[in-house]
Amino acid sequence: MSFSAADHAFMARALQLARRGLYSTSPNPRVGCVIVRDGRVIGEGWHERAGLPHAEVEALNAIVGAGEAAKGATVYVTLEPCSHFGRTPPCADALIAAGIARLVVAMQDPNPLVAGQGLARLAAAGIEVASGLLGADATELNIGFVSRMTRGRPWLRLKVAASLDGKTALNNGVSQWITGPEARLDAHAWRARSCAVLTGIGTVRDDNPRLTVREVQTTRQPLKVVIDSRLETPPDAAVLEGGKVLIAAAQDHGARAAALQGRGAEIALLPNAQGKVALDDLLRELGRRGINEVLAEAGTRLNGSLLREGCVDELLIYQAPMLIGDAARGMFGLAELAELSGVTRLDIIERRAVGADFRIRAVLREADDHRDFPGRGLLINLLRIAHIAGLAGISAVVLAGAGGARNWGAVMLISGLGIVALDAWANPFYFRQAKGIGTLLKVALVLLLVAWEAGRLPLFWFVLAFSVALSHAPGRLRHRGLF
Ligand SMILES: NC(=O)c1ccc[n+]([C@@H]2O[C@H](COP(=O)([O-])OP(=O)(O)OC[C@H]3O[C@@H](n4cnc5c(N)ncnc54)[C@H](OP(=O)(O)O)[C@@H]3O)[C@@H](O)[C@H]2O)c1
């Protein structure tokens, strides 16, 4: 689907409006909307808070002179309009009633109650519908909502403040402050956009943190979650001030539980087989409570457990220009490895300077395939077989000096694009990673070959050698997703 430069500009504006709800919309998604007629913006809106009108309705209401004004207009929304009755009536119906001519959305709503039905309803009413404009930005803006809708658990972002040599605290537990004031301010903005901030009992004991948003203006404080198997949080801990605390424990220590409940804390008993808190169960519980994004700010031990148990989706690492030395505490408390093949692989999605420090954001390779459906793996494997068959077919006809390379090229191309589409659907960061770029490069080479037609041996052998080299590249390259 092709979009004009004006389409891009209006959707970029809608995303800008959606970002105004960064700290307030949860459990709802952040959504912005722009209504355009005759090339002019006639209405804008964004979703501010659950229970208040959705962005589309806000934008319709904002049109000066309302009434017939939206007739024939184009509407840009960052998320598919809803088609069901929730706290507010369906936005799809409001847009149909307003008589709009065209709807452009950045992404489909992953909410199973909507999932394409909003677009279908608008298309059935004769409205021209287009989807996918700036979809990656919209997905990233609502990564927590997408995660909760598709996996039933929030997106967990693990924040660490470390020295350049990867140390997070002295051995005596002192860690304040490793990063500078700009990085700490930035971290408060990440807290503010999170529905929950999570830490471990070790950090509560050593740092006595408040876990509140203080440096950034917000109307909402996140839920504070403490992982504390034996309910050892001191009843006078700063984290308990102001309430909104959930303590996840593994055992019910009657008197201690009563003291903490007396301070307003809620206690959730979620034991695992080792007598600690079942971290995955905790994430599912948070998902049930409408928590979209979690910011974990814990010490080495809990960070390690979260990583090992597959609970981490993204790392947010601040690195300060200092060296603390090997004896200090590290970031993740991971077990020693005998071979490099066992390393945890990451894809860096952003790096930038914040004051004197560096901010690095990375996603976990294992965690980034976060959308799935039954049979996706089988489908990808069948497409891979077709892809290889296409390559073999081209080889055979070229070696035999026969025609038909184009047909085999088409098989290779269509199957390759199918693999890209399925991978990109599963992973919102796909096109920013080597994996996506590598596959696109390969597809482009096949296109070149098909355009060239058979018989041009040098190019054919080049493509063949390229594909074979990639297929036999060492594990490290394969992990980098280059094929
Ligand atoms: N630089 C930074 O970004 C940063 C951020 C936060 C904290 N820190 C520093 O980190 C230090 C504290 O680190 P820490 O490792 O002692 O504390 P922590 O990671 O905050 O908490 C450790 C505790 O978490 C619990 N835990 C771990 N895995 C668990 C699991 N699967 N289920 C349930 N509970 C689990 C364990 O308690 P149980 O034994 O009771 O189960 C463990 O003692 C402090 O010095 C603090 O200053 C640094």
Buried b / exposed e across 341-371, counting CB within 10 Å, b at 16+? eeeeebbebeeeebbebbbbbbbbbebbebb
Determine if ligand 1 sits within 6 Å of the CB of residue 163.
no
CB 93 within 8 A of CB 119: no
Given 3-state DSSP classes, what are the helix, strand and coil percentages for the chain, each rounded to the nearest 5? 40, 20, 40
Q: What is the pLDDT of residue 192?
A: 96
Q: Measured in angstroms, how far is the CA atom of residue 174 from the centroid of ligand 1?
A: 13
* DSSP summary character for residue 230: T
Q: Measured in angstroms, how far is the CA atom of residue 198 from the centroid of ligand 1?
A: 11
Map tokens 């203080």 to a residue.
214
Determine if ligand 1 sits within 6 Å of the CB of residue 203.
yes
Q: Parallel, antiparallel, or unpaired: how do β-strands 32-37 and 245-249 relate?
A: unpaired
Grouping H, G, I as helix, E, B as strand and the rest as coil, residue 251 is coil
Atom of ligand 1 nearest to the CA of 170: 45
Residues 6+ apart with CB under 8 A from 361: 314, 315, 316, 317, 348, 349, 350, 351
Q: What is the pLDDT of residue 286?
A: 97
Residue nearest to atom 6 of ligand 1 (CA): 298
Q: What is the pLDDT of residue 475?
A: 36
Helix or strand run (H / E) with residue 317: strand 314-320
Q: In this structure, which amino acid lies at residue 427? A: N
CA-based nearest residue to 167, from 57, 7, 320: 320
Tens-place pLDDT, residues 225-263? 999 999 999 999 999 999 999 999 999 888 999 999 999
Map tokens 């950045």 to a residue.
106
Determine if ligand 1 sits within 6 Å of the CB of residue 229.
yes
Determine if ligand 1 sits within 6 Å of the CB of residue 26.
no
- Is 350 among the catalytic positions? no
Q: What is the pLDDT of residue 145?
A: 94
> Which residues on neighbouring strands pair with residue 271, listed in sequence order?
277
Upper half-sphere CA count for residue 342 (Cβ side, 13 Å):
7
Average pLDDT per 10 consecutive residues for the chain, totaling 483 residues: 91 96 93 94 90 85 74 93 74 87 92 81 91 94 94 96 94 87 96 97 95 92 97 96 95 91 95 94 96 97 94 96 94 85 87 97 70 77 86 77 75 81 71 58 66 56 58 39 35
Determine if ligand 1 sits within 6 Å of the CB of residue 173.
yes
> CA–CA separation, 15 vs 33, rounded Å?
8
Grouping H, G, I as helix, E, B as strand and the rest as coil, residue 277 is strand
Grouping H, G, I as helix, E, B as strand and the rest as coil, residue 347 is strand
Residue nearest to atom 47 of ligand 1 (CA): 175
Listing DSSP states for 331-344 in one string gives: SS-PPP-SSGGGSP
Residue 152 tokens, joined: 């039933």
List 44, 48, 56, 293, catalytic entry: 56
Q: What is the pLDDT of residue 459?
A: 61
Residue 34 tokens, joined: 């722009």
CA-based nearest residue to 146, from 348, 137, 434: 137
